[in-house]
Amino acid sequence: MVMEMCLPQEVAAAHAVSPGILTIDFAALQANYRHLCQRAAPSSVGAVVKADAYGLGASLLAPLLYEAGCRHFFVAQLEEALALGPALPAYVRRFVLNGLFAGTEATCADAGIVPVLNSLEQVSNWAALAAARGERLPAVLQIDTGMARLGLSDAELNRLSASPETLEGIRLLYVMSHLACADDPENAHNIYQLRRMQEISRLFPGVPVSFANSGAIFLGGAFAADLARPGIALYGGAPHVGEVNPMRPVVRLDVRVVQIRDVPAGCSISYGGTHITERPARLATIAAGYADGLPRSLSNRGAAYFGQTRLPIVGRVSMDTTIIDISALDRDTLEAGKLVEVIGPNQSLDDLASDADTIPYEILTRLGRRYQRTYPHSCALDPASASAC
Ligand SMILES: *Cc1c(COP(=O)(O)O)cnc(C)c1O
Protein backbone atom coordinates (compact mmCIF):
# COMPACT_ATOMS: atom_id res chain seq x y z
CA MET A 1 0.00 0.00 0.00
CA VAL A 2 1.29 3.45 -0.85
CA MET A 3 0.64 5.80 2.03
CA GLU A 4 0.33 9.47 1.20
CA MET A 5 2.04 12.09 3.35
CA CYS A 6 -0.05 14.09 5.78
CA LEU A 7 -3.16 12.03 6.24
CA PRO A 8 -2.94 11.72 9.99
CA GLN A 9 -6.63 11.18 10.73
CA GLU A 10 -6.81 8.27 8.30
CA VAL A 11 -3.51 6.93 9.53
CA ALA A 12 -4.87 7.32 13.06
CA ALA A 13 -7.49 4.69 12.48
CA ALA A 14 -4.83 2.24 11.33
CA HIS A 15 -2.67 2.72 14.41
CA ALA A 16 -5.29 3.36 17.06
CA VAL A 17 -3.23 1.91 19.90
CA SER A 18 -0.31 4.31 19.64
CA PRO A 19 -0.22 7.61 21.57
CA GLY A 20 1.08 9.43 18.53
CA ILE A 21 2.43 9.01 15.04
CA LEU A 22 5.94 9.97 14.02
CA THR A 23 6.14 10.22 10.26
CA ILE A 24 9.61 10.09 8.70
CA ASP A 25 9.73 11.15 5.07
CA PHE A 26 12.43 9.13 3.28
CA ALA A 27 12.12 11.09 0.03
CA ALA A 28 12.68 14.37 1.89
CA LEU A 29 15.78 12.93 3.56
CA GLN A 30 17.22 11.94 0.19
CA ALA A 31 16.28 15.29 -1.34
CA ASN A 32 18.06 17.03 1.53
CA TYR A 33 21.19 14.96 0.95
CA ARG A 34 21.17 15.87 -2.74
CA HIS A 35 20.57 19.53 -1.95
CA LEU A 36 23.56 19.55 0.39
CA CYS A 37 25.69 17.93 -2.32
CA GLN A 38 24.76 20.73 -4.71
CA ARG A 39 25.56 23.39 -2.14
CA ALA A 40 28.88 21.81 -1.20
CA ALA A 41 30.02 20.94 -4.73
CA PRO A 42 32.70 20.11 -5.72
CA SER A 43 33.29 18.80 -2.18
CA SER A 44 32.12 15.35 -1.16
CA VAL A 45 29.35 15.11 1.37
CA GLY A 46 29.10 12.47 4.08
CA ALA A 47 26.32 12.00 6.60
CA VAL A 48 26.38 12.24 10.37
CA VAL A 49 24.18 9.45 11.70
CA LYS A 50 25.28 9.54 15.34
CA ALA A 51 22.76 9.05 18.16
CA ASP A 52 20.73 6.71 15.93
CA ALA A 53 20.57 9.28 13.13
CA TYR A 54 19.47 12.02 15.52
CA GLY A 55 16.86 9.67 16.95
CA LEU A 56 15.25 8.74 13.65
CA GLY A 57 16.86 5.33 13.11
CA ALA A 58 20.39 4.97 11.72
CA SER A 59 19.98 1.45 10.30
CA LEU A 60 16.89 2.58 8.47
CA LEU A 61 18.17 5.90 7.15
CA ALA A 62 21.79 5.06 6.32
CA PRO A 63 20.84 2.78 3.38
CA LEU A 64 18.63 5.57 2.00
CA LEU A 65 21.50 8.02 2.21
CA TYR A 66 23.72 5.43 0.54
CA GLU A 67 21.15 5.10 -2.22
CA ALA A 68 21.26 8.89 -2.62
CA GLY A 69 25.04 8.67 -3.12
CA CYS A 70 26.53 8.97 0.38
CA ARG A 71 29.70 6.94 0.97
CA HIS A 72 30.99 8.43 4.26
CA PHE A 73 29.07 7.89 7.50
CA PHE A 74 29.98 9.46 10.83
CA VAL A 75 28.87 8.26 14.26
CA ALA A 76 30.05 9.31 17.71
CA GLN A 77 30.94 5.95 19.21
CA LEU A 78 32.50 2.67 18.17
CA GLU A 79 29.39 0.76 19.27
CA GLU A 80 27.30 2.82 16.87
CA ALA A 81 29.71 2.17 14.01
CA LEU A 82 29.61 -1.58 14.70
CA ALA A 83 25.80 -1.56 14.77
CA LEU A 84 25.71 0.27 11.45
CA GLY A 85 27.84 -2.37 9.69
CA PRO A 86 25.05 -4.65 8.45
CA ALA A 87 23.13 -1.66 7.01
CA LEU A 88 25.86 -0.67 4.55
CA PRO A 89 28.12 -2.29 1.97
CA ALA A 90 31.50 -3.15 3.50
CA TYR A 91 33.47 -0.71 1.36
CA VAL A 92 31.52 2.30 2.67
CA ARG A 93 33.47 4.30 5.25
CA ARG A 94 32.26 4.44 8.83
CA PHE A 95 34.02 7.00 11.04
CA VAL A 96 33.97 7.28 14.85
CA LEU A 97 34.00 10.97 15.78
CA ASN A 98 34.70 10.51 19.48
CA GLY A 99 37.76 8.41 18.78
CA LEU A 100 38.66 5.21 20.60
CA PHE A 101 39.01 4.28 24.24
CA ALA A 102 42.34 2.57 24.85
CA GLY A 103 41.98 -1.16 24.29
CA THR A 104 39.27 -0.95 21.62
CA GLU A 105 41.63 -0.38 18.66
CA ALA A 106 41.65 -4.00 17.48
CA THR A 107 37.84 -4.20 17.49
CA CYS A 108 37.71 -1.05 15.41
CA ALA A 109 40.33 -2.21 12.91
CA ASP A 110 38.83 -5.70 12.59
CA ALA A 111 35.50 -4.17 11.63
CA GLY A 112 37.10 -1.89 9.04
CA ILE A 113 35.95 1.19 10.94
CA VAL A 114 37.97 4.40 10.75
CA PRO A 115 38.66 6.23 14.02
CA VAL A 116 38.93 9.97 14.36
CA LEU A 117 42.08 10.35 16.45
CA ASN A 118 41.60 13.18 18.91
CA SER A 119 44.75 13.10 21.04
CA LEU A 120 48.40 12.07 20.80
CA GLU A 121 47.56 9.11 23.00
CA GLN A 122 44.96 7.92 20.50
CA VAL A 123 47.47 8.45 17.69
CA SER A 124 50.13 6.36 19.39
CA ASN A 125 47.67 3.57 20.31
CA TRP A 126 46.50 3.35 16.69
CA ALA A 127 50.09 3.45 15.41
CA ALA A 128 51.03 0.70 17.87
CA LEU A 129 48.32 -1.57 16.49
CA ALA A 130 49.44 -0.81 12.93
CA ALA A 131 53.03 -1.72 13.88
CA ALA A 132 51.93 -4.92 15.62
CA ARG A 133 49.96 -5.98 12.56
CA GLY A 134 52.51 -4.77 10.04
CA GLU A 135 49.74 -2.86 8.22
CA ARG A 136 48.94 0.75 7.50
CA LEU A 137 45.70 1.57 9.25
CA PRO A 138 43.40 4.36 8.06
CA ALA A 139 42.44 7.21 10.38
CA VAL A 140 41.23 10.79 10.52
CA LEU A 141 43.19 13.27 12.61
CA GLN A 142 41.14 15.90 14.39
CA ILE A 143 42.68 19.23 15.38
CA ASP A 144 40.93 21.63 17.73
CA THR A 145 40.68 25.01 15.98
CA GLY A 146 38.56 26.84 18.51
CA MET A 147 36.07 24.73 20.39
CA ALA A 148 38.16 23.06 23.10
CA ARG A 149 36.12 19.88 22.81
CA LEU A 150 37.88 17.16 20.82
CA GLY A 151 41.08 17.08 18.80
CA LEU A 152 44.73 17.92 19.20
CA SER A 153 45.53 21.20 20.95
CA ASP A 154 48.12 23.58 19.50
CA ALA A 155 50.71 22.16 21.89
CA GLU A 156 49.96 18.59 20.84
CA LEU A 157 50.06 19.59 17.19
CA ASN A 158 53.52 21.13 17.73
CA ARG A 159 54.72 17.94 19.37
CA LEU A 160 53.37 15.90 16.48
CA SER A 161 55.05 18.16 13.92
CA ALA A 162 58.33 17.83 15.82
CA SER A 163 58.15 14.03 15.62
CA PRO A 164 56.23 13.07 12.47
CA GLU A 165 57.32 9.44 12.86
CA THR A 166 54.50 9.21 15.44
CA LEU A 167 52.15 8.87 12.48
CA GLU A 168 54.08 5.99 10.95
CA GLY A 169 51.78 3.14 10.01
CA ILE A 170 48.77 5.46 9.91
CA ARG A 171 47.19 6.30 6.59
CA LEU A 172 45.62 9.73 7.13
CA LEU A 173 42.41 9.88 5.11
CA TYR A 174 41.53 13.37 6.34
CA VAL A 175 42.56 16.04 8.77
CA MET A 176 39.45 17.47 10.31
CA SER A 177 38.16 20.10 12.66
CA HIS A 178 34.74 21.21 13.82
CA LEU A 179 33.20 24.68 13.87
CA ALA A 180 31.73 26.09 17.05
CA CYS A 181 29.47 28.78 15.54
CA ALA A 182 28.58 27.66 12.00
CA ASP A 183 24.85 28.14 12.68
CA ASP A 184 25.54 31.89 12.88
CA PRO A 185 26.94 33.22 9.60
CA GLU A 186 27.78 36.61 11.15
CA ASN A 187 30.03 35.12 13.79
CA ALA A 188 33.68 36.10 13.24
CA HIS A 189 34.81 32.90 14.95
CA ASN A 190 33.94 31.02 11.73
CA ILE A 191 36.58 32.88 9.72
CA TYR A 192 39.07 32.54 12.56
CA GLN A 193 38.61 28.75 12.60
CA LEU A 194 38.78 28.51 8.79
CA ARG A 195 42.10 30.40 8.67
CA ARG A 196 43.48 28.22 11.44
CA MET A 197 42.37 25.08 9.58
CA GLN A 198 44.03 26.31 6.39
CA GLU A 199 47.32 26.86 8.25
CA ILE A 200 47.07 23.42 9.81
CA SER A 201 46.33 21.66 6.54
CA ARG A 202 49.66 22.95 5.18
CA LEU A 203 51.35 20.74 7.77
CA PHE A 204 49.72 17.73 6.10
CA PRO A 205 50.39 18.17 2.38
CA GLY A 206 48.22 16.00 0.19
CA VAL A 207 45.84 15.04 2.98
CA PRO A 208 42.23 16.12 2.28
CA VAL A 209 40.35 18.23 4.81
CA SER A 210 36.98 17.60 6.46
CA PHE A 211 35.60 20.71 8.11
CA ALA A 212 31.97 21.63 7.47
CA ASN A 213 28.88 20.60 9.40
CA SER A 214 25.41 21.59 8.11
CA GLY A 215 25.73 25.27 8.94
CA ALA A 216 29.18 25.58 7.38
CA ILE A 217 28.02 24.18 4.03
CA PHE A 218 25.89 27.33 3.79
CA LEU A 219 28.77 29.63 4.72
CA GLY A 220 30.07 29.17 1.19
CA GLY A 221 33.28 28.40 -0.68
CA ALA A 222 36.25 27.29 1.35
CA PHE A 223 34.21 26.10 4.32
CA ALA A 224 33.02 22.96 2.55
CA ALA A 225 36.66 21.77 2.15
CA ASP A 226 37.03 18.23 0.75
CA LEU A 227 34.43 16.30 2.76
CA ALA A 228 31.48 17.90 4.54
CA ARG A 229 29.76 16.24 7.51
CA PRO A 230 26.17 17.46 7.74
CA GLY A 231 23.75 16.08 10.29
CA ILE A 232 20.82 18.27 11.27
CA ALA A 233 20.15 19.63 7.78
CA LEU A 234 19.65 16.10 6.46
CA TYR A 235 16.89 15.65 9.02
CA GLY A 236 15.22 18.95 8.12
CA GLY A 237 16.64 21.27 10.78
CA ALA A 238 17.65 24.79 9.78
CA PRO A 239 21.40 25.07 9.05
CA HIS A 240 21.37 28.71 10.20
CA VAL A 241 19.31 29.69 13.22
CA GLY A 242 16.64 32.28 12.48
CA GLU A 243 17.01 32.22 8.69
CA VAL A 244 14.61 30.77 6.14
CA ASN A 245 15.18 27.02 6.24
CA PRO A 246 16.17 25.67 2.80
CA MET A 247 15.78 22.02 3.84
CA ARG A 248 12.69 19.87 3.40
CA PRO A 249 10.97 18.75 6.62
CA VAL A 250 11.66 15.07 7.29
CA VAL A 251 9.70 14.60 10.50
CA ARG A 252 6.06 15.07 11.31
CA LEU A 253 4.62 14.35 14.75
CA ASP A 254 0.93 14.00 15.53
CA VAL A 255 -0.23 13.20 19.03
CA ARG A 256 -3.54 11.71 20.06
CA VAL A 257 -6.09 13.37 22.29
CA VAL A 258 -6.82 11.25 25.37
CA GLN A 259 -9.52 13.28 27.07
CA ILE A 260 -11.47 16.49 26.65
CA ARG A 261 -13.06 18.55 29.43
CA ASP A 262 -14.73 21.89 30.03
CA VAL A 263 -13.45 23.91 32.96
CA PRO A 264 -14.75 27.10 34.60
CA ALA A 265 -12.81 30.33 35.10
CA GLY A 266 -10.36 30.08 37.99
CA CYS A 267 -9.45 26.44 37.32
CA SER A 268 -5.95 25.35 38.33
CA ILE A 269 -4.25 23.33 35.61
CA SER A 270 -1.68 20.51 35.88
CA TYR A 271 1.16 20.11 38.42
CA GLY A 272 1.89 23.15 40.53
CA GLY A 273 -1.17 25.00 39.27
CA THR A 274 1.01 27.27 37.14
CA HIS A 275 -1.91 28.18 34.90
CA ILE A 276 -5.27 29.39 36.21
CA THR A 277 -8.01 29.85 33.63
CA GLU A 278 -9.22 33.43 33.27
CA ARG A 279 -12.48 32.37 31.65
CA PRO A 280 -14.30 29.11 31.04
CA ALA A 281 -12.23 26.95 28.71
CA ARG A 282 -12.28 23.66 26.85
CA LEU A 283 -9.15 21.61 27.35
CA ALA A 284 -7.70 18.53 25.70
CA THR A 285 -5.18 16.25 27.37
CA ILE A 286 -2.85 14.79 24.74
CA ALA A 287 -0.89 11.55 25.04
CA ALA A 288 2.69 12.83 25.08
CA GLY A 289 4.81 14.41 27.76
CA TYR A 290 8.45 14.89 28.57
CA ALA A 291 9.03 11.12 28.49
CA ASP A 292 8.04 11.33 24.82
CA GLY A 293 10.35 14.23 24.11
CA LEU A 294 8.08 17.21 24.64
CA PRO A 295 10.43 19.25 26.81
CA ARG A 296 9.07 20.44 30.13
CA SER A 297 10.23 23.90 29.08
CA LEU A 298 7.18 23.96 26.77
CA SER A 299 5.00 24.34 29.88
CA ASN A 300 2.71 27.37 29.37
CA ARG A 301 4.73 28.27 26.23
CA GLY A 302 4.36 25.93 23.29
CA ALA A 303 1.35 24.81 21.30
CA ALA A 304 -0.14 22.07 19.19
CA TYR A 305 -2.18 22.68 16.06
CA PHE A 306 -5.39 21.38 14.63
CA GLY A 307 -5.61 22.51 11.05
CA GLN A 308 -4.25 26.02 11.25
CA THR A 309 -5.65 26.68 14.68
CA ARG A 310 -3.04 27.21 17.37
CA LEU A 311 -3.88 25.34 20.58
CA PRO A 312 -1.66 26.66 23.37
CA ILE A 313 -0.12 24.39 25.98
CA VAL A 314 -1.52 25.29 29.39
CA GLY A 315 0.11 24.32 32.67
CA ARG A 316 3.12 22.09 33.05
CA VAL A 317 4.02 19.35 30.62
CA SER A 318 3.96 16.11 32.60
CA MET A 319 5.61 12.75 31.94
CA ASP A 320 3.00 11.17 29.68
CA THR A 321 0.53 13.94 29.01
CA THR A 322 0.26 17.61 28.09
CA ILE A 323 -2.81 19.83 28.32
CA ILE A 324 -3.77 22.14 25.48
CA ASP A 325 -6.50 24.80 25.35
CA ILE A 326 -8.84 23.96 22.49
CA SER A 327 -11.40 26.70 23.17
CA ALA A 328 -10.64 28.21 19.74
CA LEU A 329 -12.10 25.17 17.97
CA ASP A 330 -15.74 24.44 17.28
CA ARG A 331 -17.11 22.18 20.01
CA ASP A 332 -17.29 18.95 18.09
CA THR A 333 -14.05 19.26 16.16
CA LEU A 334 -11.87 17.16 18.45
CA GLU A 335 -12.63 14.04 20.41
CA ALA A 336 -10.58 11.43 22.23
CA GLY A 337 -8.53 9.41 19.74
CA LYS A 338 -8.07 12.22 17.22
CA LEU A 339 -4.67 13.66 16.44
CA VAL A 340 -3.22 17.14 16.88
CA GLU A 341 -0.09 18.32 15.11
CA VAL A 342 3.01 18.89 17.22
CA ILE A 343 5.56 19.02 14.37
CA GLY A 344 4.25 19.52 10.86
CA PRO A 345 3.20 22.10 8.28
CA ASN A 346 1.95 24.58 10.89
CA GLN A 347 4.74 24.19 13.42
CA SER A 348 8.21 23.28 12.23
CA LEU A 349 10.81 21.36 14.16
CA ASP A 350 12.70 24.65 14.48
CA ASP A 351 9.58 26.45 15.81
CA LEU A 352 9.04 23.80 18.45
CA ALA A 353 12.70 23.91 19.47
CA SER A 354 12.62 27.67 19.75
CA ASP A 355 9.45 27.60 21.92
CA ALA A 356 11.18 25.04 24.14
CA ASP A 357 14.27 27.24 24.36
CA THR A 358 16.40 24.53 22.82
CA ILE A 359 17.73 23.42 19.43
CA PRO A 360 16.18 21.03 16.89
CA TYR A 361 18.98 18.52 17.62
CA GLU A 362 17.73 18.08 21.17
CA ILE A 363 14.09 17.77 20.11
CA LEU A 364 14.89 15.06 17.52
CA THR A 365 17.24 13.01 19.67
CA ARG A 366 14.70 12.92 22.51
CA LEU A 367 11.62 11.95 20.54
CA GLY A 368 10.33 9.03 22.54
CA ARG A 369 10.01 5.37 21.70
CA ARG A 370 6.26 5.22 22.28
CA TYR A 371 5.16 6.70 18.98
CA GLN A 372 4.08 4.61 16.05
CA ARG A 373 6.60 5.34 13.33
CA THR A 374 5.37 5.52 9.75
CA TYR A 375 7.27 5.95 6.52
CA PRO A 376 5.12 7.38 3.77
CA HIS A 377 7.64 6.54 1.05
CA SER A 378 8.72 3.22 2.46
CA CYS A 379 8.04 1.42 -0.82
CA ALA A 380 11.21 3.14 -2.05
CA LEU A 381 13.10 0.72 0.20
CA ASP A 382 11.97 -2.21 -1.86
CA PRO A 383 13.17 -1.78 -5.44
CA ALA A 384 10.62 -4.31 -6.64
CA SER A 385 7.74 -2.07 -5.64
CA ALA A 386 9.52 1.22 -6.34
CA SER A 387 7.54 1.81 -9.48
CA ALA A 388 4.43 2.03 -7.31
CA CYS A 389 5.81 5.16 -5.64
C1 LIG B 1 27.47 16.31 15.20
C2 LIG B 1 28.65 16.67 14.38
C3 LIG B 1 28.49 17.05 13.04
C4 LIG B 1 27.15 17.32 12.42
O5 LIG B 1 26.74 18.62 12.79
P6 LIG B 1 25.37 19.26 12.28
O7 LIG B 1 25.39 20.62 12.90
O8 LIG B 1 24.28 18.40 12.78
O9 LIG B 1 25.43 19.30 10.81
C10 LIG B 1 29.63 17.22 12.27
N11 LIG B 1 30.86 17.05 12.81
C12 LIG B 1 31.05 16.72 14.10
C13 LIG B 1 32.42 16.57 14.63
C14 LIG B 1 29.95 16.52 14.94
O15 LIG B 1 30.14 16.22 16.22
Q: Is the CB of 127 under 6 A from ligand 1?
A: no
Cα–Cα distances (Å) from 149 to 16, 98, 123, 133, 347, in that order, read 45, 10, 17, 31, 33
pLDDT tens digits for range 341-362: 999 999 999 999 999 999 999 9
Pairing between strand 281-286 and 251-263?
antiparallel
Selection from 12, 82, 98, 22 nearest residue 56 by Cα: 22
Ligand 1 atom 3: the closest Cα is on which residue?
213
210 lines ligand 1 (CB under 6 A): no
Is 232 close to ligand 1, i.e. is its CB under 6 Å away?
A: yes
**219, 224, 250: which is closest to 237 by C-alpha?**
250
Q: How many CA atoms lie within 13 A of 10 on its CB side?
A: 6
Using CA atoms, how far residue 124 sits from 94, 105, 327, in Å, is 21, 11, 65
- Catalytic residue list: 50, 271
Atom number of ligand 1 nearest to Cα 232: 8
Instruction: Tell me the C-alpha distance between 328 and 326, whole Å.
Output: 5
pLDDT of the chain, 389 residues: tens digit per residue: 334 444 455 655 555 679 999 999 999 999 999 999 999 999 999 999 999 999 999 999 999 999 999 999 999 999 999 999 999 999 999 999 999 999 999 999 999 999 999 999 999 999 999 999 999 999 999 999 999 999 999 999 999 999 999 999 999 999 999 999 999 999 999 999 999 999 999 999 999 999 999 999 999 889 999 999 999 999 999 999 989 999 999 999 999 999 999 999 999 999 999 999 999 999 999 999 999 999 999 999 999 999 999 999 999 999 999 999 999 999 999 999 999 999 999 999 999 999 999 999 999 999 999 999 999 866 444 444 433 33
Ligand 1 atom having least distance to the Cα of 182? 7
Kindly report the pTM of this predicted structure: 0.93
